[in-house]
Structure 1
């Protein structure tokens, strides 16, 4: 019974935790159905107690601030602890947005939102959902990159779990220190390759925290079901090691067997503590670990790497949507990548799989339509012996070429994709070249944050004379060229991973299959309507993201059932409606 009760104070009020909302001694009115997705994980539908009075106002999960009614203030010992005025959630939201807009510096907005999340969880998510296009660049890229760089200086209150080498041999105990027992999604990083900013060590925690905020806001996964984790094995960032405010281990990064053993202990402990159906999302691991970890655990755990698989899925969706603008089938196009790391090879492989699926051609053949350029030039078969394992499938027969411009001229791609992490590498000459043999070249400058983007939106439109179809990883403002306004698309993983994760949760999936990623891509591509194409957009606006996520979740869940990987039985009749019914709502609940 201990696991169903959480004592937080002497004066306890009971909040109803029965997913069917039976009233047991009073509680919170659950009219949203968001708990049904984890119903079978509960020990028993029951009630648990949370603090009243002063402690309640400091519990972000239940605090409503001035929105507590007169009746609630009496029932929960709040009388006198709040000013006499009452406020609606809508008025609170209006006041906070006005306040946030006063800040000129994005990092100040980030800190204000973090403070709100730590004080009033539902209001934070209400703000984020209702103002997603305005706040997404603050809680995620590009501002989250700066937040990670300065994490030690702005650190106020810990979020998530920090598992360092000091906890080796005790990882399961550390997981048990986390108060929630029904965790659905873990986002974990070791901080070695944060966005395009490099090794930020323990300060990479900003990424799991930000990703999980989007799992809730955009995908409807309950905040209590989300757990951010940083695995701290040190850092090779000399500047951080010398920074007096650095919050991580002050040592060089551990590698080899000691690193592998810690990760293995972590993966085993997660499964032991949370079961088979918890999603473990690897985030911002360096290439040499990312591919190895995904390959090692994909058959034993429900693992997902957003840098490899999420990026691939969202880019494939953009490419599929673009076909309706430029014509032809996917197999008729030729792809050239700058960057052959996690993102580049992940995208390339998923495109090759989609072509293979559509044309019934072996994937070994469809890979030949895709060329990659790394720091040493075009990846060709004469380089095969010196290539890392994950690059070898892309080594095709061709004479060596040592730079991107010559590769563009030789390969003549219809789609140019940048995932290099190096800014301004799509030069004027490169874009003019790709535009010279394409009426409408698709140019995707995917590297984050904005400073690392291969080119800006303005450069793409200007140098292509307004003919390019452009999308980037981080957002760019609309561009006016020759009297026409072009709206650049954002090839943001946030389109995919929240809905993808929700699909895994609602189906009770136990493994991730590539066909689920293809299903997510096709679902997102189908959300782009003609009115968006007229503006040059290949992705739908984020203002509709919860509806989009529900459809992606339904498609992913359907594929899980089809592949026999779903455990939540029987299968719901209408998966879209079921997904929507399971989504977390940030609207305040009525306390009884």
Structure 2
């Protein structure tokens, strides 16, 4: 390569940072202004430009433009401004971009696998790896989505490719995965979003979503291609619908190193947050009564992860562990005999459905004669309340006060995002519980002032967990991603909790986002050690921590030489 072709490659482009010698070697002298900048000087210029922008969505577009020009500069800027920029490039702003994807589209990024062109699937995937100058065996991580359940905004069709891209940005920024060794993928299997189907500018396949055997065959074709050609890749599933997410994970988990962030990532970070709270109160996980409001992919994923922890680490049976959960969805409490309109309990939800006999003596306060969230809280007297409903304000003052009456330190996590969909404001939770509450949220919130104290609010964000788990599986070249490895990750995060380290409950339950790379290294180290212990790692290391640190890519410019 030389001249403009190098400047057009974001993984290679250094812009004004090309040295005089490099400019001469690669015919760049006429294409760049005279001055040679350092990466730090470039980042300062970028900061000045960024600071002039006001609207989050405009900042998001600006960052995408930099991503498409110069990846080293892009990641250096992110790491300098991690706390401020994460809400811009990820939730909540990314959801706004995805929803308008076909209208703001400028240039493609990612791999588009179209159902109608399934005969080209393998060719397209292999070509995508080669575009980054990588052989398929060199790809470390693939993030794939079918876009059915995106970031609290639902079915977004082909626009979901942006979530695959963004997740890989976080793998690089927060866990040091080399961006050249990543592959973002969208499976375009149609959409049931009528707004998209009616939109003349929609870029995806205008067809209702493929279901059943056709869908399964297409996904299987994709997975077979990954297993055959991308032998070292960690496969990350993202934002699949409730009917497919758990089913696909269960099907392919025994065959490869794979992970579903909405199920396992959300479950792991929620588990880590609960563990941190219990370390402050000397509480036991087996004593918790957990109510989950919103029993879709994320809610049931959280229940599954905590239940598996109770089984493997606390020696409870599956039935005993499941009885600790009370799952509520649109019709109310999930019960074995529940029938309401078109609502059908899934097999995954049924694990947590209680019998009618268990609730026959409950006092109900609604006209439907079926327990709603307030009824569940009053009768169960939970210690943990988790929201994954995307129902704004669902945790009302009456519900929260009812919980606090019977619990010394209620653990309340309104996890729905983006921010406009949260179940409760942290400030209200402190007010309604007289400051007794432990809070973690799905989106960032400012600290809360209550009774002369300032309480930091933990953002229960998967960004703390999936990059480190992926890094650990990649470094260890693990055969699978097991529950025990995920529990090791959750425990590593809880040990990094500022509140537990300082024994100060005004501190956050989770680490500061600026420490994310440090936390990812800790998580990855714990994952590799557990993988070695289980015989899941294809590699053996004496100093795991050192190997993990050395593996992590840093956004620094390399020196270029002419090939001989």
TM-score with structure 2 setting the length: 0.92
> Is 1:85 aligned to 2:35, yes or no?
yes
Cα deviation per residue 1:322-349 (whole Å; 9 max; x = unaligned)?
1122222111221111021221122112
Structure 2 match to 1:438: 407
Q: Give the drift of 1:299.
A: 1.3
Cα deviation per residue 1:134-173 (whole Å; 9 max; x = unaligned)?
1111111001100100111221111111011221222111
Contact 1:532 1:538 in 2 (8 A): no
Structure 2 match to 1:580: 549
Q: Give the drift of 1:534.
A: 4.1
> Is 1:376 aligned to 2:345, yes or no?
no
Contact 2:327 2:333 in 1 (8 A): yes
Q: Give the drift of 1:107.
A: 0.7
Determine which of 340, 348, 351 is the counterpart of 1:393.
351
Determine which of 464, 469, 474 is the counterpart of 2:443.
474
Determine which of 12, 15, 18 is the counterpart of 1:68.
18
Determine which of 464, 485, 501 is the counterpart of 2:433.
464
Q: Give the drift of 1:458.
A: 2.5
CA change 1:460–1:62 in 2 (3 A) is same
Residues of 2 paired with 1:280 and 1:482: CA distance?
47
Residues of 2 paired with 1:296 and 1:375: CA distance?
28
Residues of 2 paired with 1:135 and 1:531: CA distance?
28
Aligned length: 539
Report the 3-state secondary structure (helix = DSSP H, G, I; strand = E; otherwise coil) of the residue aligned with 1:522.
Answer: helix
Cα deviation per residue 1:348-404 (whole Å; 9 max; x = unaligned)?
122122223333232321221222112122223444996310012112342164210
Structure 2 match to 1:320: 275
Structure 2 match to 1:37: none
Report the 3-state secondary structure (helix = DSSP H, G, I; strand = E; otherwise coil) of the residue aligned with 2:107.
Answer: coil
Determine which of 376, 385, 404 is the counterpart of 2:373.
404
CA change 1:378–1:67 in 2 (3 A) is same
Residues of 1 paired with 2:113 and 2:246: CA distance?
21
> Is 1:489 aligned to 2:458, yes or no?
yes
> Is 1:546 aligned to 2:517, yes or no?
yes
- Counting only pairs closer than 5 Å after superposition, residues 24-63 of structure 1 correspond to structure 2 as 51-63=1-13
- Counting only pairs closer than 5 Å after superposition, residues 552-591 of structure 1 correspond to structure 2 as 552-568=523-539, 571-591=540-560
Report the 3-state secondary structure (helix = DSSP H, G, I; strand = E; otherwise coil) of the residue aligned with 2:254.
Answer: coil
Structure 1 match to 2:193: 237
CA change 1:198–1:273 in 2 (3 A) is same
Contact 1:469 1:536 in 2 (8 A): no
Residues of 1 paired with 2:102 and 2:63: CA distance?
17
Cα deviation per residue 1:554-592 (whole Å; 9 max; x = unaligned)?
111111111112112xx1111111101000110112234
Determine which of 239, 253, 266 is the counterpart of 1:298.
253
Residues of 1 paired with 2:473 and 2:217: CA distance?
28
Structure 1 match to 2:210: 254
Q: Give the drift of 1:279.
A: 1.4
Report the more deviating stretch, 118-127 or 381-390: 381-390
Q: Give the drift of 1:531.
A: 4.2
Residues of 1 paired with 2:124 and 2:205: CA distance?
17
> Is 1:206 aligned to 2:206, yes or no?
no
- Counting only pairs closer than 5 Å after superposition, residues 147-546 of structure 1 correspond to structure 2 as 147-178=97-128, 179=130, 180-181=134-135, 182-275=138-231, 277-383=232-338, 387-397=345-355, 398-399=358-359, 401-529=370-498, 530-531=501-502, 533-546=504-517
Report the 3-state secondary structure (helix = DSSP H, G, I; strand = E; otherwise coil) of the residue aligned with 1:157.
Answer: coil
Report the 3-state secondary structure (helix = DSSP H, G, I; strand = E; otherwise coil) of the residue aligned with 2:412.
Answer: strand
Q: Give the drift of 1:232.
A: 0.7
Q: Give the drift of 1:552.
A: 0.5
Report the 3-state secondary structure (helix = DSSP H, G, I; strand = E; otherwise coil) of the residue aligned with 2:520.
Answer: helix
Contact 1:380 1:399 in 2 (8 A): no
Structure 2 match to 1:12: none
Contact 2:280 2:505 in 1 (8 A): no
Report the 3-state secondary structure (helix = DSSP H, G, I; strand = E; otherwise coil) of the residue aligned with 1:394.
Answer: coil
Residues of 2 paired with 1:372 and 1:430: CA distance?
15
- Counting only pairs closer than 5 Å after superposition, residues 81-160 of structure 1 correspond to structure 2 as 81-160=31-110
Structure 2 match to 1:26: none
Residues of 2 paired with 1:533 and 1:334: CA distance?
24
Residues of 2 paired with 1:440 and 1:196: CA distance?
29
Cα deviation per residue 1:452-478 (whole Å; 9 max; x = unaligned)?
211122222232233221111111222
TM-score with structure 1 setting the length: 0.88
Contact 2:453 2:506 in 1 (8 A): no
Residues of 2 paired with 1:209 and 1:480: CA distance?
37
Residues of 1 paired with 2:344 and 2:223: CA distance?
32
Which ranges in structure 1 are unaligned for 5 or more consecutive residues? 1-50
Residues of 1 paired with 2:505 and 2:50: CA distance?
33
Residues of 2 paired with 1:560 and 1:106: CA distance?
40
Q: Give the drift of 1:509.
A: 0.6
Report the more deviating stretch, 347-356 or 53-62: 347-356
Contact 2:280 2:503 in 1 (8 A): no
Residues of 1 paired with 2:32 and 2:80: CA distance?
26
Structure 1 match to 2:366: none
Contact 2:385 2:411 in 1 (8 A): yes
